[in-house]
Each structure stands twice: as structure tokens, then as C-alpha cells.
């Protein structure tokens, strides 16, 4: 029988401090050359081990081989100048130093396929691989060539599809596209964002997911959340079109957030990765708090479609905090799993 409530993380985990500066986004590597390659692989082994030890069911690479979930992918493409970076406001919220698109973008070689193959060799558990979504890529760079967000997103979607097909061939079970920008630019999401995402998953036979959140627990994001009022209804704008899309799984922020849980009714029928761990605080959830969030979601998500998860990536957290949160997630999921089995 297939396991009920299989757990996973959104993707990123903290890096060991011998590999990169801890608790920092865009943290520079501490190693170079062959030592860096080996260091990344060792960090991936540690991330795998920590997930297995905590009881995580669907394993990710912890994003140990990338500096950032969007810019690392962009920097591997031709047509991009990543040395002369520019500072732009991303997600309509905060300044970031980003690569510049200077010419037609293309993927000359695989970006993460070797890393995925390496992870595949290390475990028989199902594995999930995260890629940036086309709209979030467009929103995390400076475009000096296309002058059209939609057209550039379409080019990225074709590139992402090439990468995704090779990840699938390498044995990845779930390919996830991270689209925090979906929570900001609703008109664009409905006009072309979801269409671009569907172009990125074209022809895939593995499962596909989209992750939409309120961001890492950095100050710009927590300040932004304070402006959103008592009910966060952003998801409502895009759920109807997502429900009708070809994407199999939708990954959402549900814990400690002000998202009204009944919005999940709008995506009934989809599998939902329910965020039950808050990444914006260092305090560790109790298993009972995790269980509560999952029980609330169960009113609107069928039990066989509910995947307990984290709200977002845990890259900026201290390692000890991230490890404890992984354990809380699994302990909370186990409580609800037993309740469901007892009621069956």
C-alpha cells in the first residue's frame, strides 16, 4: 500500500559551514575547483542523511550544489552576463544583485542533471528536484535584450523543459517549479505565467509540482507580510487557472500564515503539498501544531492527495533549527497518519 501523507521539504536546507557562510542568501562558496565539487557532493550526502534520519519520504538534494534557487540556474545559460550584475527590485519587494540577459538565452549543457544522477545513486526513496519557474526567473534578473517579460519567460520555459526531460531520464520522480512570483503578479500569472509553466512540463511523464509561497523568512518578506492584512487571499487569484492546468501537485504556505484554509477548495482534485512548518521563525513547531495544520487542510484536500511539507526553503535557517523542524514535520504527519488509519 502506498504510504499516506508522504513528507517532503520545499527543497533547500542549510549548507554545512565548511561549504558556505551559514544563514546567508547568495552565500559565497568557501571552497574552489575540485575541492568545491567534492564538497558539494559531501554536503548533498549529509542533506540526504538528515532527511532519512528525520523520516522524510520524498527526498530532495537540499539544494546543496546551488548558491541560489534562481540565479544559479540562470548563470548556467548562454546569453547571460553574470559578472556585471545589476541591482533590481525583485518580487516588487527588495533589491537583489542579479545577472543580466544580454543576448538570446540558451542552455548549452545540462545544469543539474549530474547532481540529480548523483542523488539518485544514493537512495531508493522517491526524489524531487526543484527548478525555478519561468516567471520567477524573469523576475530575478535584469533584461537588456528581450524587453518583454512574457517572451523571455517563454524562452526560459523551453530551456526548463530541456532540463526537466533530462532530470526525468536521470530518475527524478517529481520535478517542482518554484514560482514565488505567482503570489505577486496575478494578471501576468493568468495571462501567460501558467501557460509558460505548462510549456516547461510539456511531454514529461514524471509528476510535476509548482511551489508558491510568501518567501524565505528574511526581513523584506516578513515586512511585506505585515502589509497584507488579516486574510491573505493572494492564492485565490490564481487557483482557478492552476486547478485547470496540467500541473499535478501544488505546494503552498499554510502554517502560521493568514491564508484562509478554505481557499484549498479551489484546487480540489490536485495533490497539495501543505506547508506545515514555518521557515520565518527559529522556534520549533510541536508535532501537535503540525498535526493541527494538516487536519485543517484535510477538510479541503483528500487524504490520499495531501503531502505534508515545509512552507518554503530552509536555506537561511541555522542547521540545528532546520533539523529539528524536519523532525517535527514527520512527527506531526505521523500523528495524523495514525488517526486516518484508525478511522479507516
What are the residues binding Zn ion (CB under 5 A)? Answer: 213, 312
Tell me how far, at minimum, the Cβ of 311 lies from Zn ion, in Å.
7
Of 274 and 312, the one with the shorter C-beta distance to Zn ion is 312
Query: How near is the Cβ of 212 to Zn ion at its closest, in Å?
Result: 8
Give the Cα separation of 48 and 42 in Å (integer): 10
Cβ-contact 150, 183 below 8 angstroms: no
Helix (H, G, I), strand (E, B) or coil at 222: helix
Least Å distance between CB 127 and Zn ion? 19
Of 36 and 228, the one with the shorter C-beta distance to Zn ion is 228
The minimum distance between CB 147 and Zn ion, in angstroms, equals: 28
**Distance in Å, CB of 80 to Zn ion, minimum:** 23
| CA neighbor of 178 nearest in space, from 222, 133, 221, 148 | 133
For residue 78, the cross-strand partners are: 106
Strand partners, 210: 177, 250
Q: Least distance from C-beta 68 to Zn ion, angstroms? A: 13
Could you tell me the three cell numbers for 59? 527526498
Report the alpha-carbon distance of residue 97 to residue 42 in Å, rounded: 28
Q: Which is nearer to Zn ion, 165 or 257 (CB)?
A: 257
Grouping H, G, I as helix, E, B as strand and the rest as coil, residue 29 is strand
Q: For 261-328, give the DSSP string.
A: GGGGGGGTTSEEEEE-S-TT-SSPPPHHHHHHHHHHHHTTS-GGGEEEE-SS--TTS-HHHHHHHHHH
Residue with smaller CB distance to Zn ion, 167 or 312:
312
Neighbours of 205 (CB within 10 A): 7
CA nearest to 149, candidates 165, 162, 133, 131: 133
Q: Helix or strand or coil: residue 110?
A: coil
State which residue, 164 or 312, has the beta carbon closest to Zn ion: 312
Contact 272, 225 (CB under 8 A): no
Of residues 79 and 133, the one with the C-beta less far from Zn ion: 133
Nearest approach, Cβ of residue 252 and Zn ion (Å): 9
Least distance (Å) between residue 205 CB and Zn ion: 26
- Which residue number, 141 or 312, has a Cβ lying nearer to Zn ion? 312
Handedness of CA 192, 193, 198, 199 (dihedral sign): positive
**221 vs 330 by CB, closer to Zn ion:** 221
Q: How far, in Å, are 37, 41, 120, 160, 216 from residue 212 at the CA level?
A: 30, 28, 26, 18, 11
Amino acid at each position: 500500500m502506498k504510504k499516506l501523507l508522504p513528507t517532503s521539504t520545499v527543497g533547500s536546507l542549510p549548507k554545512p559551514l565548511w561549504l558556505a557562510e551559514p544563514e546567508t542568501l547568495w552565500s559565497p562558496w568557501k571552497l574552489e575547483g575540485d575541492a568545491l565539487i567534492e564538497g558539494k557532493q559531501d554536503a548533498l550526502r549529509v542533506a540526504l542523511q538528515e532527511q532519512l534520519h528525520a523520516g522524510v519520504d520524498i527526498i530532495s538534494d537540499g539544494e546543496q550544489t546551488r548558491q541560489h534557487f534562481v540565479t544559479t540556474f540562470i548563470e548556467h545559460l548562454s546569453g547571460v552576463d553574470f559578472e556585471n550584475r545589476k541591482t533590481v527590485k525583485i518580487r516588487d519587494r527588495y533589491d537583489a544583485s542579479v545577472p543580466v540577459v544580454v543576448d538570446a538565452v540558451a542552455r548549452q549543457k545540462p545544469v543539474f542533471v549530474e547532481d540529480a544522477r548523483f542523488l539518485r545513486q544514493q537512495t531508493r526513496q522517491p526524489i524531487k528536484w526543484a527548478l525555478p519557474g519561468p516567471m520567477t526567473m524573469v523576475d530575478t534578473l535584469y533584461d537588456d535584450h528581450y524587453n518583454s517579460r512574457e517572451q523571455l519567460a517563454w524562452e526560459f520555459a523551453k530551456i526548463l523543459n530541456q532540463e526537466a526531460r533530462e532530470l526525468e531520464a536521470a530518475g527524478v520522480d517529481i520535478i517542482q517549479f518554484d514560482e514565488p512570483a505567482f503570489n505577486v503578479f496575478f494578471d501576468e500569472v493568468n495571462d501567460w505565467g501558467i501557460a509558460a509553466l505548462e510549456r516547461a512540463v510539456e511531454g514529461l511523464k514524471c509528476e510535476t509540482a509548482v511551489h508558491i509561497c510568501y518567501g524565505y523568512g528574511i526581513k523584506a518578506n516578513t515586512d511585506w507580510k505585515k502589509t497584507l492584512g488579516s486574510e491573505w487571499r493572494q492564492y485565490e487569484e490564481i487557483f482557478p487557472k492552476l486547478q485547470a492546468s496540467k500541473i499535478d501537485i501544488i505546494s503552498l504556505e499554510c502554517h502560521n500564515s493568514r491564508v484562509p484554509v478554505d481557499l484549498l477548495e479551489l484546487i480540489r482534485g490536485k495533490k497539495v503539498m501543505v506547508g506545515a512548518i514555518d521557515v520565518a521563525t527559529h522556534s520549533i513547531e510541536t508535532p501537535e501544531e503540525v498535526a493541527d495544520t494538516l487536519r485543517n487542510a484535510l477538510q479541503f484536500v483528500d487524504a490520499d492527495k495531501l503531502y505534508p511539507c515545509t512552507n518554503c526553503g530552509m536555506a537561511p535557517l541555522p542547521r540545528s533549527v532546520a533539523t529539528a523542524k524536519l523532525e517535527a514535520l514527520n512527527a506531526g504527519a505521523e500523528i495524523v497518519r495514525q488517526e486516518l488509519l484508525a478511522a479507516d
